[in-house]
Structure 1
């Protein structure tokens, strides 16, 4: 990994009253312009603070904020420093989770958006997924059913959640996949908070869906998913409104 020389990047001195925002803005701008790329190390702390005309404490606060935003990674040790990282979904997922916990996203918003999103996801996945991805979905359904039969409800719920993110990945669109991951992460927390009522319709629906996916019947596959989610979320919203936690985990 190469360290970037400050003069090559065009860092400019910072106005003290806007130091925190300006440091982050300059780093983001340099990434956007391609002057900083994933794997690049920012200049050493002392040199960068001097170039920006800020204290090292101010610089550290800005770098920690950039790390939280998923732009850089701070590493310790002789070979450490601030490194630009490849993009990942953590920031979006954490942002959606925070919005849910803050009340900006309600359970009704979440369930409604999920139904719309997954109807689209199934249509795209039906066109794009490969045979090995169909096999992975099939294996997931079998594993979830086995876990539930064995009484491992937490594992069953995890596998059910994974089924949906596998579908998101099969769209081969990172925006859609990240949104699917984020929605399912928040949904998992919502389900955990209310408990999931035992049901007998999840696995049969999964098997019907897989058959339709193998037939590349996008309309019928999307309809199957929407019917399943509408039925499942009717149960969820009833439990949410009544606030009665359950002991079993099935669905998601």
Structure 2
């Protein structure tokens, strides 16, 4: 071997992990549920039928079903009337993951308000354009009978948008707000002002005025931002890491 010449270091290459059989089965069952348009309440094949059809062990089937159950895509009921039933995943399941992601990303209150200003005025405008009479009545009922429920108002307003993506985005956001230790909603800080803002948004929705609805919501959020700025809270973490320790 020639002196002074170093041999290149042999780097160890990592190959992608092959999915477990249970994960492959979960993928197959998920594809069947979604690809065939199965609805909440529809039944999947029984555990015994899945074992026979796919030629896998009982433990593999049960692990695959646990994966789908953790996603909220199925519900396993025991007893004579039991079975493996399709269900619609709830926002709370996604919302919990969002809360974890927000914590690890160290998202600040300032970023939260900026995000709300991007989507909630549009949700209000969409509500003014598309809300049904029944939805407008529910929004009015919320404003009149639940004046202290700031998060409830925003969630009902998002429902009135009749846009599934907007509705999910706002609902997940407010799931995070309800989990926040900071109480980041205007109602608790300025109840009279928040209630006035809600009535202004409600009036615009009832009058089917999208521009006014968006402006009213933006005003509501800007006022909230100013209040938090006065309190020196805009650069706080939205959900600080030590909050999780306080829950145990």
After TM superposition, the score normalised by the length of structure 1 is 0.74
Higher relative contact order (CA 8 A, sep 6+): 2
Matched, 1:187 2:174: no
What SS does structure 1 have at the residue aligned with 2:20?
Answer: helix
- Alpha carbons 1:110, 1:187 under 8 Å: kept: no
Report the Cα distance in structure 2 between the residues aligned to 1:168 and 1:124, rounded to whole angstroms.
9
Closer/same/farther in 2, CA of residues 79 and 160 from structure 1, 3 Å limit: same
Aligned twin of 2:132: 130
- Alpha carbons 2:109, 2:236 under 8 Å: kept: no
Structure 1 or 2, whichever has the larger Rg, is: 2
Report the Cα distance in structure 2 between the residues aligned to 1:187 and 1:35, rounded to whole angstroms.
33
Closer/same/farther in 2, CA of residues 195 and 92 from structure 1, 3 Å limit: closer
Aligned twin of 2:189: 198
Matched, 1:109 2:111: yes
- Alpha carbons 2:25, 2:64 under 8 Å: kept: yes
Aligned twin of 1:99: 101
Report the Cα distance in structure 2 between the residues aligned to 1:78 and 1:106, rounded to whole angstroms.
50
Report the Cα distance in structure 2 between the residues aligned to 1:131 and 1:44, rounded to whole angstroms.
43
Report the Cα distance in structure 2 between the residues aligned to 1:106 and 1:62, rounded to whole angstroms.
37
50, 65, 84: which one pairs with 1:82? Answer: 84
Q: How many residues align?
A: 215
- Alpha carbons 2:136, 2:160 under 8 Å: kept: no
- Alpha carbons 1:38, 1:84 under 8 Å: kept: yes
Report the Cα distance in structure 2 between the residues aligned to 1:17 and 1:177, rounded to whole angstroms.
34
Closer/same/farther in 2, CA of residues 165 and 138 from structure 1, 3 Å limit: same
Report the Cα distance in structure 2 between the residues aligned to 1:56 and 1:89, rounded to whole angstroms.
31
Aligned twin of 1:176: 166
Closer/same/farther in 2, CA of residues 98 and 242 from structure 1, 3 Å limit: closer
Closer/same/farther in 2, CA of residues 110 and 62 from structure 1, 3 Å limit: farther
Closer/same/farther in 2, CA of residues 17 and 189 from structure 1, 3 Å limit: closer
More helix by share: 1
Aligned twin of 1:161: 151
Q: Give the superposition deviation at 1:80.
A: 1.5
- Alpha carbons 2:38, 2:86 under 8 Å: kept: yes
Report the Cα distance in structure 2 between the residues aligned to 1:104 and 1:59, rounded to whole angstroms.
38
Report the Cα distance in structure 2 between the residues aligned to 1:88 and 1:75, rounded to whole angstroms.
18
Q: Give the superposition deviation at 1:46.
A: 2.9
Aligned twin of 1:3: none
| Per-residue deviation, residues 76-107 of structure 1 (Å, max 9, x unmatched) | 11222211224543443333233224336544
- Alpha carbons 2:71, 2:89 under 8 Å: kept: no
Matched, 1:219 2:211: yes
Aligned twin of 2:233: 239
The CA RMSD over aligned residues, in Å, is 2.7
Q: Give the superposition deviation at 1:112.
A: 1.9
Q: Give the superposition deviation at 1:204.
A: 1.5
Aligned twin of 1:58: 60
After TM superposition, the score normalised by the length of structure 2 is 0.75
- Mark the runs of 5 or more structure 1 residues left unpaired by the alignment: 1-15, 146-155, 244-252
